[in-house]
Amino acid sequence: MDESYSIESSSNSIKRVTEIPFRGQIYDRYGKLIVYNTPVYDLLVTPYKVKMDDTLRFCQVLGIERHDFDSLMAAASAYSRVKPSLFLRQLSKEDFASIQDIMVDYSGFEFAKSSLRTYTAPTLANTLGYVSEITKGQLEKQEEPYYRQGDYIGQSGVERIYENELRGKRGTKFVMQNVAGVYKGSWKNGELDTMAVAGENLYTGLDLEVQQYADSLMLNKVGSVVAIEPKTGQIISMVSAPTYDPNILASRYFSKNFAALVRNPYKPLFNRPVMASYRPGSTFKLIQALIGLQEGVITPGSGFTHANCPVGCHNHPATSTVALGVTHSCNPYFYNVFRRLIYKNNIKNTFKASAVGLDAWHDDIAKFGIGQRLGIDLPSEYKGNLPDKKYYDRFYGEYRWKFSNIYSLSIGEGELLITPLKMANVAAIIANRGYFYTPHVIHGVGDKKTVKPEFLERHETGVDAHNFEPVIEGMIGAVEAGTARRSRVEGITIAGKTGTSQNKRGDDHSIFIAFAPVDDPKIAIAVFVENAGAGGSAAAPIANLIIEKYLSRKVTNKALEERMMKLDLMSKVVLPTTKKPGETETKKKTEEVKKPTGDPNDPANRLPGAPHPANPAAMRGPITLPKQSHQKAL
C-alpha cells in the first residue's frame, strides 16, 4: 500500500511541503557565469488561520502600509481561505533573518524558500529573456499539470525556449506539526520525501566580454549587432539597442518595472536582432552577384556600362569585374545582373518571362535564409519578405507587371525585408563559401552539453565554392579601399560590405556585414544603426571594432573607438506619431492599393503579424529604474 495516500487524512498533523528547485544557470563560451540564482524567501498566508491582534505592528515589521495589508489579504482570501497563497515575494536573506523570530507571533503566515534570477552583468536582457509569475491563461493551457498559481516560468528569450530544461524537478517533504502549526520533525524519517532536482545548466556561444563591449558601442543609438561563429552557427554577440538591465525584471518590483518598460516609447522590450525588419540595401548585392555567377549570367570578368540604367551611380572608377562591382557598390552593375537573372529564359512575352524569372530568382535567394525563419532558439523571429510572382499578382494582376516594375530589388530596396540576424547569417554563408548552420544561442544543455540536432544540420545554398572568391575579393576591396576603408583594422584581413537602407521616417539606416579573418573565418557580423546614414559612417566602424576585440582581445584604433562610443543619434530619432483628436482612418480604409510602394512602412509590404519595421530609436544607455520602497512595490 502507498502510504502517501493516507497523508491527506492526517492533514492536521502532517504537512506536505513542496520544494522548488533552482533554475539552471547560464554560462558564456569561456565558462563565465552569466545567470545564476540568489536564495530568497516568500511569505505565504493561509487566511482562515490568521489571528491578528496588532495589525499596525505587523505592517511595521514588514514595512508595508495598512491598505496594502488589506488588499493582499483580500486577494489571498479570494484565491482560497484554506490554502496558502503568496503574501510577499522575494524577501532577502537579511530581511528573513530580521523578521523570522517576530513572525512566530502571527499565526497563518509561513516562509517558503525561493530563488531570484541574478545577472553578473547588465547585458543581454533581450536574448536571455526574463521569468515571471505564470499567468492564468498559461495555467489553463499547460499540457501536463506541472505549474501552480504563483509559480515562475520563462516568458521570453532563452528562458522561455529552454523552460523545460531550466525549471528542474520539484521535491516534496512531509513534516509533522502540532495544531498550532509548530514544526515537530519529518514524517517517517523522510521515507516518502523526494529531493528537488535543479534545472539543467545552459552553455552558450556568447562572449560576455565582447558582448559588453558591443553594448558600449551601441549606447545612444538604436539598432542591432549580431555576431556568429561561421563554422558552428553559435551566436557570439547579440545586441538590441535600446536595452535595459535584466536585474530590474528579476525582483519583487517586476510589475511596476515591466509596466514602465512597456510604456517607454523607445520599445526596449522589442528584440531587434530577430524582430526588426529593414530593407537590406547594398548588402543584398552580394547575394545577387553569387546567384548571377552560379546561374552563369555573369562571369568574374563581366562588366557593364551605365547606359539606359534607371538607378543612379556613385562617382567611382569603372566596374569591369564582379569584384570591382562589389568594392564600389555600383548600382547599375547589379541592376544589369538582376535583369539578366529575370530574363534568363526563352519566353518572348516580357510579362510572362518576368514572372517565371522572378520565381526562379526567389527560389535561389531563399536558400540563403531570406524570406523565412532561420529557426534560432529565440521566440518571435520575423521571417521578413521575399516577393515572388504571387506577391506582385496581388497588386498588378497576373502577367500585368514586368522587370521595369520590380528593378529596385536589384539593389536591395523595394519590397524586400530582412532582419539583422539574416544578414549576419549571409556573412557566415560567404565566410563558409556556400553553407550555414542555423544560428543558435545555446550550444550545450546539461552536464553532457547536448546540442539540439537541428543545430548540427548543414544547410547548402547551391552556390559553388569557387563563385564566392570574386565576391570576397570585392568585399576585401570595400574594406581596404572602398566604402568601409575608414574603419579598416591593421593586421586583420576583413571582408565586408556596406549598405544604406532607405527610410521615409528620417535619415537612412547604416548597415554593414563582414567576416574575418578571410582565410580562416572565426566571426561573421551584421551591424544595423538606425538613422545613421551611409553604411561606412557608423555600422562599419562598430563592426570592425568588435571584430578586432573578438579576435585580438584588444582595440588599437582608440580614436575610432572613442568616436563611436560618443556618437549620439538621439537628435535623429523620429518617434511614431499619435492620432490627433477626432481624426479618423476612413479615407485610409477605403483607399485602394494599386501597387507596391517599396515602402516597408506600407502595410501592403508587411506580412501578417509582423512587427512594425520603423523602430523608435535608442535611449541613452540601458534603462535603470530607481529603487522603490516596500510601499511602492506592492
The grid cell for 300 is 568574374
Question: What per-residue confidence (pLDDT) applies to 481?
Answer: 84
pLDDT at site 333: 96
The Cα–Cα gap between 166 and 49 comes to 35
**DSSP per residue over 27-53, as a string?**
E-TTS-EEEEEEEEEEEEE-GGG---S
Rounded distance between C-alpha atoms, residue 67 and residue 154, angstroms = 31
For position 180, what pLDDT does the model report? 58
The whole-number pLDDT of residue 270 equals 96
Q: 228 near 204, Cβ under 8 Å?
A: no
Confirm if 370 and 386 have CB atoms less than 8 A apart.
Answer: yes
Mean pLDDT across 564-569: 94
Least confident of 89-103, 578-592, 595-609: 595-609
**C-alpha span between 469 and 580 (Å, rounded):** 55
For 60-78, the pLDDT digits (tens) are 888 888 988 898 899 888 8
Q: Higher-confidence residue: 10 or 486? A: 486
The number of beta carbons lying within 10 Å of the beta carbon of residue 581 is: 5
Q: HSE of 523 in the Cβ direction (CA atoms, 13 Å)? A: 27
Is residue 80 over pLDDT 90? no
**Element (H or E) spanning 131, and its range?**
strand 131-133
Checking if the pLDDT of 30 tops 50, the result is: yes
Question: Taking 50 as the threshold, does the pLDDT of residue 580 lie above it?
Answer: no
Average pLDDT (110-125) is: 91
Cβ 525 vs Cβ 421: under 8 Å: no
pLDDT value at 617 more than 70 = no
Highest averaged pLDDT of the listed ranges 6-20, 47-61, 262-276: 262-276
How far apart, in Å, are the Cα atoms of 171 and each of 12, 206, 287, 427?
21, 32, 54, 47
Q: What is the pLDDT of residues 135-150, one digit of tens each?
A: 889 988 988 888 887 7
pLDDT, position 153: 94
- DSSP code of 310? S
- Of 237-246, 394-403, 408-417, 476-485, the poorest mean pLDDT is in 476-485
pLDDT of 589 reads: 36
Q: Is 94 helix (H, G, I), strand (E, B) or coil?
A: helix
**CB contact set of 79 (below 8 Å; sequence gap of 6+):** 85, 149
Q: Which of 192, 127, 628 is nearest to 420 (CA)?
A: 127
Whether pLDDT at 584 is above 50? no
CB 273 within 8 A of CB 206: no
Q: Is pLDDT larger for residue 486 or for residue 368? A: 368
* pLDDT tens digits, 299-334: 999 999 888 889 888 777 778 999 999 999 999 999
The pLDDT value given to residue 603: 34
Cell 491563461 sits on residue: 137
Average pLDDT in the 275-282 region?
Answer: 96
Percent of the chain with pLDDT over 70: 88
CA–CA distance, 594 with 484 (Å, rounded to integer): 39
Q: How far apart are CA 486 and CA 377, in angstroms?
A: 35
Other CB atoms within 10 Å distance of the CB of residue 171 = 15
Closest CA to 86 of 66, 105, 106, 111: 111
pLDDT confidence of residue 578: 45
Take residue 255 and report the three cell numbers written for it.
Answer: 510589475
pLDDT for res 318:
79
Chain-wide mean pLDDT for the chain? 86
pLDDT in tens, 170-191: 888 887 777 655 666 777 777 7
Upstream peptide bond of 517 is cis (omega within 30 degrees of 0)? yes
Q: Which of 5-9, 382-386, 515-519, 543-547 has the lowest mean pLDDT?
A: 5-9
By the 8 A CB rule, do 97 and 26 touch? no
Q: Is it true that the peptide bond before 242 is cis, omega within 30 degrees of 0? A: yes
C-alpha cell at 145: 499539470
> Which stretches of 296-416 are DSSP H helices?
322-327, 331-342, 350-366, 389-396, 403-406
